[in-house]
Amino acid sequence: MFRILSDKGSKVILIVLFSLVNMPSASAQYDYDNARPVGGLLAGANFTQVDGDGYKGYNKISPAGGGILYLPVRNAGLPVEGTLAWSMEVLYAGKGAFGSGSGIATNVQQQKISLIYAEIPLQLNYWRGPRKSIYGAGFALGYLGASEEEISTVSGQVYNFPFRKLDMSFLATANFHIGYGFFVSPRFQYSLASIRKPNAALSSFGREEQFNNVWSVKLMYLFNVR
């Protein structure tokens, strides 16, 4: 099972890399530094739980990373200094959950959920140029490339239930500039619809509807920023 998960995870990585190679070039030069497209890379970790699985806590830590492109809007007419910028990312995103003990269901000993998504977040950002901190919010569409679940009970039985292939989520991000094109980027992300396929038997272990609940921290580097 882990070999299958690894193979499918590799396919997700290849999809992400292919998308990064084909992203629009971020090297175009404009008259104003805060109005030119800027691209970069992201790498870090997701701290996740699945709301509704019967356990609490961001106990699953998974890698996350990919590429980002900012497209600033000229003359947005904001009442404060700065402008707006659209951003698009192509990410490899690990999610899931881990819990041990009885939780909500007293007959459960342990539950492990491992999910691997190819994800495209789209955000609208408050932008003052690539040398300033950036704040954004938006939505992400994730495609589930691989999944594995194991619910172990005191009787020795093991259960698993299917997940939906698509996950639409809300997200909010802060990118704090630390110099030389580097940013520290904490993010919150939450599913807008259940990540589970309908199955009444899920109610024996938690809730039938379940949601990805994610906090992440990444290091972002923007190209051609001094």
How high is the pLDDT of residue 39? 96
The stretch 132-155 carries a mean pLDDT of 94
How high is the pLDDT of residue 46? 98
210 or 158: which carries more pLDDT confidence? 210
DSSP designation for 104: S
Which CATH number covers residue 21?
2.40.160.20
Q: Which two tokens stand for residue 219?
A: 């290091």
How high is the pLDDT of residue 70? 97
Distance between CA atoms of residues 208 and 119, nearest Å = 24
- The answer for residues whose C-beta is within 8 angstroms of residue 195's C-beta and 6 or more apart is 50, 115, 163, 164, 167, 210, 211, 212
- pLDDT (tens digit per residue) in 52-105: 988 889 999 999 999 999 999 977 677 888 889 999 999 999 999 998 876 666
Distance between CA atoms of residues 185 and 62, nearest Å = 16
Distance between CA atoms of residues 224 and 87, nearest Å = 17
Is 167 inside any structural domain?
Answer: yes
Tally of domains within the chain: 1
How high is the pLDDT of residue 157? 82
Q: What is the DSSP string of 9-68?
A: HHHHHHHHHHHHHTSPPS----SSGGGS-EEEEEEEEEEEEEETSS--S--EEEEEEEEE
Is residue 6 over pLDDT 80?
A: no
- pLDDT (tens digit per residue) in 161-217: 999 999 999 999 999 999 999 999 999 999 999 999 999 888 888 899 999 999 999
3 or 189: which carries more pLDDT confidence? 189
Is residue 130 very low, low, confident or very high in pLDDT (cuts 50, 70, 90)? very high
50 Cα distance to chain centroid: 13
The residue segments making up the domain with residue 61 are 2-26+36-222
Q: What is the value of pTM for the model shown?
A: 0.84
**How many other C-beta atoms lie within 10 A of the C-beta of residue 121?**
23
Torsion of CA 139, 144, 147, 151, to 10 degrees: 50
Three-state secondary-structure class, residue 92: strand
- pLDDT (tens digit per residue) in 8-29: 556 565 555 555 445 444 333 3
Is 59 inside any structural domain?
Answer: yes
How high is the pLDDT of residue 92? 98
Is residue 47 over pLDDT 70?
A: yes
Is 188 inside any structural domain?
Answer: yes
Distance between CA atoms of residues 92 and 9, nearest Å = 9
Is 31 inside any structural domain?
Answer: no
